[in-house]
Amino acid sequence: MILVLAGTSDARELALTIKEAGYKLLTTVVTENAGKEMKKAGLDVYVGRLTSEDFMRVIKEQGFQAIVDASHPFAEEASKNALFGAKEADIPYIRYERESQSYEDKGITMVESYEDAAELAAEKKGVIMLTTGSKTLEIFTRKLLDQPDTRVIARMLPRLDNMEKCEKLGFPQKDIVAIQGPFTKEFNLALYNQYGVTTMITKESGKQGSVDEKLEAAIELGVETIMIKRPKINYGNAYSDFSDVLSHINKILKNENERTKGRT
């Protein structure tokens, strides 16, 4: 049995590919909404955050033979916990990650962290649109919310916990765009025009994260873009193609089955 860290649309497709290849699996996601999407696709799912200790526990209880980590490129904590759990339980860890793209030639400013992005945006002032989600919102509000000549627009998923977080941080209701993507270039154009955006902050989430549509709209309107680079994690076995992930699974589980037969 395989444990698959999922939650995104491409992770769901990978899980279905693994299932169709004849493997039993359990997907794990963080939100109830993501869990509903997994169930709708016919996949077994566990909803909730897992610590490294949780991973070790479920591996032992469920007898997982491998972990396939197809979580979001910026789900750094989840990947590190899965890596640790797999290592401690002595089972293979396989990483699927969306293919990275190059953006330097498009006049985009690349930064290493959310903090760096907030610092740079504070220097630029103007109307800043955050498309980085709610998890790191406090980093930006702390640096930008009370800056003169600065307005911050936050685009995030329309979840109750996100709205509660905004209220706690003192984020103005009129500056919240609560909506779920993916979004077209035309939608982004309309949104940037609506708020008079001068700087847009995003993450290097890959083509599946609709980054291109954000950038094309920003470039057309002359909106400056700050992009946060992906976390640097040594995954070990990492692939950007479903077939490569499946080949690795076939290889390791074939070897595992042969070892099991040899012990009987």
CA-to-CA separations, 207 to 77, 118, 128, 198, 247, in angstroms, rounded: 22, 24, 22, 23, 23
Task: Quickly count: other Cβ atoms within 10 Å of residue 153's Cβ.
Answer: 22
45 and 82, same domain (yes or no): yes
Residues 56 and 34 in one domain: yes
Look at 89-93, 229-233, 245-249 and tell me which has the smallest mean pLDDT: 229-233
* 118/21 same-domain check: no
148 and 167 inside one domain:
yes
Residues 114 and 220 reside in one and the same domain: yes
For residues 152 and 180, membership in a common domain is answered with: yes
Same domain for 204 and 117: yes
Condensed to tens digits (0 to 9), the pLDDT of residues 232-263 reads 888 988 999 999 999 999 998 876 655 555 55
Q: For the chain, what is the mean pLDDT?
A: 90
Q: Quick one: pLDDT at residue 191?
A: 97
Domain of residue 123, CATH code: 3.40.50.150
Place of tokens 């209220």: 167
As a whole number of Å, the CA-based R_g of the chain is 20
Note down the domain range covering 191: 104-228
Quick check: 100 pLDDT over 80? no
- Cβ neighbors of 12 (< 8 A, separation 6 or more) are 6, 27, 37, 38, 41, 43
Task: Identify the CATH number of the domain in which residue 35 sits.
Answer: 3.40.50.720
Global pTM? 0.83
Residues 6 and 114 in one domain: no
